[in-house]
Amino acid sequence: MTSDAMPGVAHSPPVGDSGRDWPKADKHSSGKADNSMILGSAGFTHWDWIVLIVYFVGIVAFGLWMSRKIRSSGGYFLGDRQLPWWVMMGQAFGTGTNAENPVAQTGASCQHGFATIWYQWKNMLITPFYWLMSPWYRRSNRTTVGEIIEDRYGRRLGLLYTVFAIAFFVFNQGAMLKGAGKIISVATGGQIISPNGVVVAMTATFILYSFFGGLIASAYTDFVQGFLIIVLSFMLIPAGLSAVGGFQEMRATIPPDFFTLYSDVSGLDAFTIAMLAINGLVGITAQPHILSMNATGRTERAGRIGQMYGNLVKRLCTIGWALTGLVVAAMVLQRGISLPDPEHAFGYACLELLGPGLVGLMVACVLAANMSTCSNFMVNTGALFTRNLYAHYIKPAADDRELLTVGRLSGLALTGLGILFALTVERVLDAFLFTETIAAFMGIMFLGGVLWKRANRYGAFTATIAAFGVYYALNFLMTCHAGPADAPSKTLSEAWVRMMDAARSDALWGFLGNGELRLLYKWTPGPYGWATLIGFTLFVVVSLLTRPEEQGRIMEFFNKMRYTSDEEGKLAAERGQDLLMLDLPGWLTPQRWTGFFRRYREDLVGFILGWFAVGALVLLARGILQIDK
């Protein structure tokens, strides 16, 4: 899953925010949705079954073959930190890409145009920072993020984080399993297999190789399945362009502003994109699986390459998803039909454009997108339970063999909860969005703890609670209105003006009484921005007003960061591997600027190259939009 998912945005493109409905039939058509075009009778041929069976058998056999390398809990949870850079790339790409990503982006582009790519690309602006942050996790010499939190702030906050992390994995696994089930069920005509049937088949497959092979099997199968995800991202475009008459006819069919790289039509202004980027930067540091994405390579550079360039491959695939959306927009207009939901665009394209065997390949690609993530989540869930709960509170004296067994069984049991959630809950998107929001606020304590030595547990706890409180209070305020005839506020400033007007007219309690208390609110930049600002402010203020952490704990934590993990006992500065973002206040000291480039060579070169890669992707997208202009 991606650290790239954005609460309420990437998965729920705004309908009508720009004043435009998404493509429908022209005035000569009936204007009615032709549902048969979505649930059509393309059929799942024997060629499709052959492709699907070959995929299932092949991926299980490969995963089990890789599992022969597991000999210890360290091998199971972290692959003995020996994964090569190319496997790290596949792991980051596969785990960060889920089936709902192409579906949501294709639907958004079909509805509002190519500029909606920023729903997914919001994290591209922070991707170069992955290069700078990656060594934090490897140098911690820990198995889970929960252990890092415990090292920094103590056992209680470590336990709080562990509870959040396990819930994150369980709910997200359920959401992804059910989401893939629905996609496949619809794309195959709704008559081949039910969504729950897909959930069971998919889960049995990834559990089999993950249970025995741990992170090694997960990472290597992620690498293999990454190729299928790339196929998924681009396979519809050639047939789609042929169906609509190429770029020239597509331009003649849909509005010109569908071909712009940035437009207000997408509903994303500069402030919103900035808030999305901050959300991504803070949130990704605390996502529970981020340690395995960065700390399992043979070297620190392998982790850096894997995390940054693996995610840049996803940014490349996003171009394919957005272009598919334009193709579908032209198809429905040319054929005079309507889709009942813009997010049906991807399934519609599959039904209309794929022939025998290719539908089976598409189903395999969707399965690969989700199984790669769920497999990694299963291993990480077992690691969290084993390292942060079992070894701490249940049996501290457990030997490595017992920890390996507990890791396998706990990962299996907690994945079972995700399966149960997927089978019994119809609307799992809400739980998925909730966990993404939690990660953004949990990131305050993690990121702040690395950037500032003086941070303590009191500031971390207060900041986290306050951020949640402010976020929910402001979102509640936006739902308040004076009466049944009034709609909720679209922006936070509008809600504030309404509240002041109600207070001046002695109608404040009636205004607040019409608000809606929800577990989940649609993500908007205003409440998130204020919650983050207040959270970080209290993080600093409370830390300064309360007693600092024990000096030995802080020195040990930061000393780990100053020694490279590539060579035991070697200062990172001597290898050009000092960390630019470590202890931000330290930049005010003269020592930070001594031998600057020599000490920070690895950070500086990789960071700059990352921005060149980002620029290249933007230019590529812009170039595609200029074809036949």
Q: Give tens-digit pLDDT for 270-284.
A: 888 888 888 889 989
Q: Averaged over 120-144, what is the pLDDT?
A: 92
Burial of 164 per CB tally in 10 Å (0-12, 13-18, 19+): buried
Q: What is the pLDDT of residue 592?
A: 83
DSSP 110: H
List the beta bridge partners of residue 450. Answer: none
Q: How far apart are CA 296 and CA 294, in angstroms?
A: 6
Q: Averaged over 507-520, what is the pLDDT?
A: 85
Q: What is the pLDDT of residue 401?
A: 85
Q: What is the pLDDT of residue 316?
A: 94
Q: Averaged over 180-194, what is the pLDDT?
A: 61
Report whether 318 contacts 105 (CB < 8 A).
yes
Task: Give backbone dihedrals phi and psi of 33, rounded to 5 degrees, phi first.
Answer: -65, 130
- Model confidence at 440, in pLDDT bands (50, 70, 90)? confident
Closest of 587, 474, 468, 473 to residue 538, by C-alpha: 468
Of the listed ranges 2-6, 91-95, 482-486, the least confidently predicted one is 2-6
What single letter denotes the amino acid at residue 65?
W
Report whether 370 contacts 180 (CB < 8 A).
yes
Dihedral sign, Cα of residue 421, residue 422, residue 426, residue 431:
positive
Angle subtended by helix axes 246-253 and 300-335, to nearest 10:
70
Q: What is the pLDDT of residue 481?
A: 83
From the DSSP assignment, how many helices (H) and strands (E) are in the chain?
Answer: 25, 0
Report whether 587 contacts 579 (CB < 8 A).
no
Q: What is the pLDDT of residue 311?
A: 93
Q: How far apart are CA 512 and CA 501, in angstroms?
A: 12
Between the CA of residue 519 and those of 258, 266, 435, 489, what are the distances in Å? 35, 27, 11, 18
CB-CB neighbours of 504 under 10 Å: 9
Q: What is the pLDDT of residue 601?
A: 96
The predicted-structure confidence for 295-309, as pLDDT tens digits, reads as follows: 889 999 999 999 999
List the beta bridge partners of residue 571. Answer: 563
The per-residue pLDDT of the chain, averaged, comes to: 82
List the beta bridge partners of residue 83. Answer: 297
Q: How far apart are CA 66 and CA 405, in angstroms?
A: 18
Q: How far apart are CA 48 and CA 184, in angstroms?
A: 13
3-state secondary structure (DSSP) of residue 399: coil
3-state secondary structure 195-215: HHHHHHHHHHHHHHHHHHHHH
- Model confidence at 462, in pLDDT bands (50, 70, 90)? very high
CA 503 centroid distance within chain: 41
Report whether 121 contacts 113 (CB < 8 A).
no
Structure tokens at 327: 């193709």
- Model confidence at 435, in pLDDT bands (50, 70, 90)? low
Q: How far apart are CA 389 and CA 135, in angstroms?
A: 25
Superfamily in which the 35-440 domain is placed by CATH: Sodium/glucose cotransporter (1.20.1730.10)
Q: pTM, whole model, 2 decimals? A: 0.83
Total residues belonging to the chain: 629
Rg of the chain on CA atoms, in Å = 25
- Model confidence at 158, in pLDDT bands (50, 70, 90)? very high
Helices (H), 297-357: 300-335, 345-353
Q: What is the pLDDT of residue 10?
A: 37
Q: Averaged over 233-245, what is the pLDDT?
A: 91
Q: Pseudo-torsion of CA 459, 464, 468, 473, nearest 10°?
A: 0
Q: How far apart are CA 77 and CA 98, in angstroms?
A: 22
- Residue 86, pLDDT > 70, answer yes
List the beta bridge partners of residue 33. Answer: 338
Of the listed ranges 122-131, 270-279, 282-291, 439-448, the least confidently predicted one is 270-279
The predicted-structure confidence for 534-588, as pLDDT tens digits, reads as follows: 999 999 999 999 999 999 999 999 999 999 999 989 999 999 999 999 988 888 8
Share of the chain above pLDDT 90, in %: 36
Rounded to 5°, angle at Cα 358 from 40 and 319 = 95
Between the CA of residue 26 and those of 37, 90, 106, 610, what are the distances in Å? 17, 44, 21, 45
Q: What is the pLDDT of residue 433?
A: 56
